[in-house]
Structure formats: C-alpha cells, structure tokens
Amino acid sequence: MPRITVILRKAYGGAYVVMNSKHIRCDINFAWPTAEIAVLGPKGAAEIIYRKEIKESDDPEQTLAQKTDDYRKTFANPFLAAKRGYIDDVISPRDTRLRLIRSLQFLESKAKDKIDRTHGNIPL
C-alpha cells in the first residue's frame, strides 16, 4: 500500500508524528508552502520560550504576537522541515494533483517482504 502525505496547514508534535510522517515510514511526504510543521504550535512555544520577556514587556500582548510571528517564520515552516529530511518536497498547491499521480506511479510496484508488527508503541 503506498503511503503519501500532503501537509496543507498545521502539523504539530505527536499529531504530526502519528499522521503518516517519515518517522513512521511514510513513503513520500509533501508540504505546501503555507504548512506549519513544529514540535509545538507557535503561540504555545512563544509563551514558554519568551515567558520572562513577555511578562516584563510594557505591552505583553504585542510582544507575544511578535514572538509568535518570529517563531512561526523561524521554526514552523516547511522549508526547515524539508532541510531536516522530514518532508521530501515543498510543493505548490496547483502542482499537488500531478505530484500525487507521479508518486502513485512511482510506488505502483512497491512490495514489502516482511510484515511488520501491527501493534506497538508509537515513536514519540
């Protein structure tokens, strides 16, 4: 069975891992340029990482918004995930259908000799 994933929007933490990621042997993993892939959502991460700075700020809400945006641009983008090997390619939304067709053609003759265990611990 071919296993292909296209991340359109948000893929955070354990949910990203268990929804057919490279970590659980997905064959091909694509993402749109608008996708966010990270360990934690940008707002939650900013609240933790910059807690002291936000608390000491004159305008905590503005500082949180700025730090959230900075985190999103720096860490939660698909290009960083692709660089680390979590995503095979960042594709344009208009190319999605063609890339899926080509991926299915490529994986048409996929064969697996040994059947893996069907139950076990998730790779967290």
pLDDT tens-place string over residues 47-73: 999 999 999 889 989 999 999 999 888
Adjacent-strand bridge partners of 29: 5
Q: Which residue has the higher pLDDT, 113 or 47?
A: 47
Q: 10-24, 33-47, 80-94: which has the minimum mean pLDDT?
A: 10-24
How high is the pLDDT of residue 111?
77
Q: What is the mean pLDDT of the chain?
A: 88
pLDDT at residue 124 is higher than 80:
no
pLDDT at residue 120 is higher than 70:
no
Adjacent-strand bridge partners of 28: 4
How high is the pLDDT of residue 50?
92
Q: Tokens 């967290």 correspond to what residue? A: 124
How high is the pLDDT of residue 109?
85
Amino acid at 41: G
pLDDT at residue 29 is higher than 90:
yes
